[in-house]
Amino acid sequence: MVRKLKYHEQKLLKKVDFISWKVDNNLHEVKVLRRFGIQKREDYTKRVVECIGPAFLSFWQSQPGVTTDVLTLQEDDVLEDEKSSIFDEDNVSFLRSLDPKEWKDQDHYAVLGLSKLRHKATDDDIKRAYRIKVLHHHPDKRKGKGEEIRPDDDYFTCITKAWEVLGNPRNRRSYDSIDPLFDDSIPTASKKSTFFETFGKTFEENARWSERQPVPKLGGALSPREQVDRFYSFWYNFESWREYSYLDEEETEKGQSREERRWIEKQNKVTRARRKKEEMARIRTLVDTAYELDPRVLKFKQDEKDRKLAMKQAKKDAIRARFEEEERKVQEAEEAARKLKEQADAEEKAKQDALRAEREAQKKALKKEKTNLRKLVKANSYYVTNDSEMIKHMESLEKICESMDIDGIIKLVSDLSLNGREDYIKAITEAEQRIEQERQELMEVAKRSSSNQGQGKGNLAPWSSEQLQLLIKAVNIYPAGTSQRWDVVANFINQHNASGNVIRSAKEVLAKAKNLKSSDYSKNVLKVAANEKAYDNFEKEHKSNVDIDATTSQRFDNPAEQQGYSTTPWTAKEQQLLEQALKTYPASTAERWDKIAECVPSRSKKDCIKRYKEYNKLSRQVRELARKVKDLDPKDPFRVDCSAQLLEKLFIMGLIPTKWDLSLCDNITASSFCQRRLPVIMVKNKMSERISMATKFIEQGHVRVGAEVVKDPAFLVSRNMEDFVTWVNSSAIRKHVMEYNEMRDDFDML
């Protein structure tokens, strides 16, 4: 007699083979056979189904030969699985301590007895564990043993929920993402000897979250650099599959309406994204900590540092060698030039000596002929007929000697030997005429020069009181010793003269200054008259009833304000107005700085002049420093080091194109500094079309240099930082640029 199967026994009969085949009259006959009683045939169609329900049980019980052996086999299989070492021992007290209402907070692996395997358990392991729990703790079976069952609050519900979570791959993945036994902590600083053990274990545990497999190992102390770089490159680009839908506070299906369900789904997505971001930050912190403490990375960095130092030293040695070679060539060129100069000087000296010898010979010959002439004239008693002519002829002899050349004297001596007195009288007359002609020419020249001077003085414009004050002020500003002092003073007077009609030259300024210096103002009639009437004027002024408004004196916080300078920094707009005014009014414009100050309403004349001189002063200091370095001995190592450091600094600042020639420092001007301003660099990098537009972007906070946001348009960008000028991450301009270049991804759109 076949007994009636219970409910839990019906559930154990899950899989049977369903066989169908076609007969001649197109009818199908269905038979349910036991598992091990089927013989295969080629025309059978075989598939696995789960037969349940009262109709199937009635059919099963009506078949001949059906016994309880099947149930016995099922129980034997469960007992064999239970003896396996991968499953935990059945802990009834733990299961009874579970609260079915708090099933979401329970450890599903521990409930099914898989706490040893956890995420490593296969689907078959989970299925076998669930079968064991069902066999031992099903309510019907426990009820048959006499145990009291509470349908609404039975711990078997926790087993069912554990199976629903772990038996479904999607639900299991969601639960594994928040495994309560997983350690999310990050190891702190450790010793070098325990680094690989500590962090190797941590990275192996976190490797389970990787989307990409296989995950590279941390390696050991002897791992090559390629392996270390590949390991950290993988973890710095780590992609985690962890998702936190299991921790959703509200389920979407509980929403009463579509709008409520959408709102719940939106809130869940925000929470998941936040937790996902925290997880990626944790992974990044773990990798950063390991990278900072990794002894291999520290060794690689030290090796790289030593290599760079060696390269830098080699570069310095090369620069020093290049400088020494250049200095050697310069010295050789100077030595060759010196030799050529000495040779030329020797030749020139020989020529001069020859000319000097020739002149000496001519002088001696002239002196000899003059002596012969004097002897001849003296021997003939100066060709006089009476004593009254003696003195005149003696004086005339000296005039003849001074006015005639050697050829004339020789000819005169020969003529005197023939004719005597007549030729001597004739020579005296010619000498006097020659001397008188020269005197007349000198008088004409002197007369013309004096007339020109008188005419020039007659055209000089009178000096006004304003010009005299400017002259006194300029003489005090530019003291004695100033290069081209009087030209500078004249330019100062012409530039600041209000009238601008009279242009003063340096000679006029010098003459007027001497005149003022030599004048005695104590004898001035006007001054005497003013002194006599001083008391009367004083008495008259004090008798008049005039109300004088007394005002409190103004207090200045610093000497700059007292001298008329403003202490507020220059804005970009003021700088643009100043630069435009400097271009509009060149240096030759009269009252130039007054007109420039009018173009910059918020600044005074002194502020504009001071601003203009700042960059000029800095560039002048750089040129002066370069000149001092050039004056040092070329062979001095100190000069070589100073030259290299100065050129390196100026090259990094972007003021010179190369760092090999000190002569480039002479080309540094105020414009060189202006070319390194941030708006100019933005135009050069094609980030803006115009400097004015770039200035607006900077003031609005759209631009950063490296990690620092810069809002000052006057910021000077060095050559090293020129490539790090870019848009701020939150800038709308950056987003438009990335959209145009099709570079935006989903992460940037969050």
Q: For 122-149, how does the pLDDT look when each residue is reduced to its tens digit (9 = 90+)?
A: 999 999 999 988 888 888 888 888 888 8
**Per-residue confidence (pLDDT) for residue 547, from 0 to 100:** 44
Q: For 211-255, how does the pLDDT look when each residue is reduced to its tens digit (9 = 90+)?
A: 998 999 988 888 999 999 999 999 999 999 988 888 887 777 777
Q: Which two tokens stand for residue 84?
A: 């396996």
**Per-residue confidence (pLDDT) for residue 81, from 0 to 100:** 52
Domain ranges of the chain: 7-67, 184-293, 305-442, 676-750
- Where is pLDDT greater, at 48 or 41? 48
**Per-residue confidence (pLDDT) for residue 419, from 0 to 100:** 77
Q: What confidence category does residue 15 fall into, taking pLDDT thresholds of 50, 70 and 90?
A: very low
CA-based nearest residue to 167, from 123, 108, 225, 105: 123
Q: For 449-492, how does the pLDDT look when each residue is reduced to its tens digit (9 = 90+)?
A: 555 544 455 456 788 878 888 888 888 778 777 778 888 888 88
Q: Which two tokens stand for residue 112?
A: 């099914």
Dist CA 572 CA 600 (whole Å): 12
pLDDT of 553 higher than 50: no
Q: In whole angstroms, how large is the CA radius of gyration of the chain?
A: 57
pLDDT of 20 higher than 70: no
User: Mean pLDDT over residues 312-341, rounded?
Assistant: 92
CA-based nearest residue to 210, from 255, 177, 184, 168: 177
**Per-residue confidence (pLDDT) for residue 406, from 0 to 100:** 83
**Per-residue confidence (pLDDT) for residue 636, from 0 to 100:** 80
pLDDT of 266 higher than 70: yes
For 705, the enclosing helix (H) or strand (E) is: strand 703-705
By residue count, the chain amounts to 750
Q: Please state which CATH class domain 676-750 belongs to.
A: alpha beta
Which residues, in sequence order, are bridge partners of residue 410? Answer: none
Q: What confidence category does residue 545 fall into, taking pLDDT thresholds of 50, 70 and 90?
A: very low
**Per-residue confidence (pLDDT) for residue 523, from 0 to 100:** 44
Contact 750, 737 (CB under 8 A): no
Q: For 162-205, how does the pLDDT look when each residue is reduced to its tens digit (9 = 90+)?
A: 999 999 999 899 898 888 888 888 887 666 678 888 898 999 99
Q: Which two tokens stand for residue 352?
A: 């001069």
Q: For 604-618, how does the pLDDT look when each residue is reduced to its tens digit (9 = 90+)?
A: 888 888 877 777 777
pLDDT of 558 higher than 50: no
Average pLDDT, the chain: 77
Q: For 401-441, how does the pLDDT look when each residue is reduced to its tens digit (9 = 90+)?
A: 877 888 888 888 888 888 778 888 888 888 888 888 877 87
pLDDT of 729 higher than 50: yes
**Per-residue confidence (pLDDT) for residue 54, from 0 to 100:** 55
